[in-house]
Amino acid sequence: MNWTDRFSIAGRTALVTGGSSGIGAEIVKVFADAGARVIATGQSQTRLTAVAATTGCETIVADISTAEGCNALVKNALALSPRIDILVNSAGVALVGSVLSYSAEDWDRTMAINLRAPFLLAKGLAPAMIAAKAGKIINISSQTGVIALPDHAAYASSKGGLNTLTKSLMTELAPHNIQVNAICPTVVMTDMGKKIWSPPEKSGPMIAATPLGRFGEPIEIADMALYLASPASELVNGALMMIEGGYSSI
């Protein structure tokens, strides 16, 4: 198998949550370019249609903030394709604020989307992967699942939980030749990242503490997702792939 084949996902079907914007939309583009059949999900049909126009992906409008919405997404995805070869849990929310002022409602929403949804989607799609004896589950986590940042208690807790879920799923699914990994990026300059981190007084100290001296771009996360989705990463399992310019190494 030559190198292009090792990094190709031609003939595979991928479901990408949060595929209408940000990192998820970039992953949809990269996966489609690498030959996959891609099903993108999100809450906005307008934004999904825009992504589909440039990538040829299929779309499902879904609200994964509820268990019912997650179960409906699984059902609708399997109606389009009897087996999802690659699941990318990219949808997420970052409702930041100090612990003292944070609401229980925002905490619950953060956990529902960032942690419960990946669990329910993996649970729903894994049986077909097990039957096929092959599959890839890629969770888009965060460096804040490994290190602490002010005003990120809920977000960090959800991503720390997602990292542990990644390892737990791996232990159960590895015997069936299914790889489960997480990507832990630094701040990525999506619309959401720019909204939170654009002020120099906020971004300056973070960039100064990052050896590489910058934040990330969506394509850099999508390229890692392609590697984890491809045959090239068959031995990589239960890994937390840190893409954060060296921040957590010093």
Residues designated as active site = 155
The span from the first CA to the last CA of the chain, in angstroms, equals 38
Q: Look-up: residue for tokens 């409602």?
A: 105
Write the CA distances from 11 to 17, 107, 204, integer angstroms: 19, 39, 44
Backbone angles phi, psi at 78, to 5 degrees: -70, -20
Burial (CB count <10 Å: 0-12, 13-18, 19+), residue 192: middle
Secondary structure percentages of the chain, helix, strand, coil, to 5: 50, 15, 30
Q: Which residue has the tokens 């949060």?
A: 18
The DSSP symbol for 130 reads H
HSE-up (13 A, CA, CB side) for residue 8:
8
Q: Give the integer Cα–Cα distance in Å for 244 and 228.
A: 17
Q: Which residues contact 121 (CB under 8 A, 6 or more apart)?
A: 15, 17, 64, 70, 73, 74, 87, 89
Greatest C-alpha distance within the chain = 55
How does DSSP classify residue 188?
Answer: B
Give the residue among 220, 181, 193, 222 at the shortest CA–CA distance from 51.
222
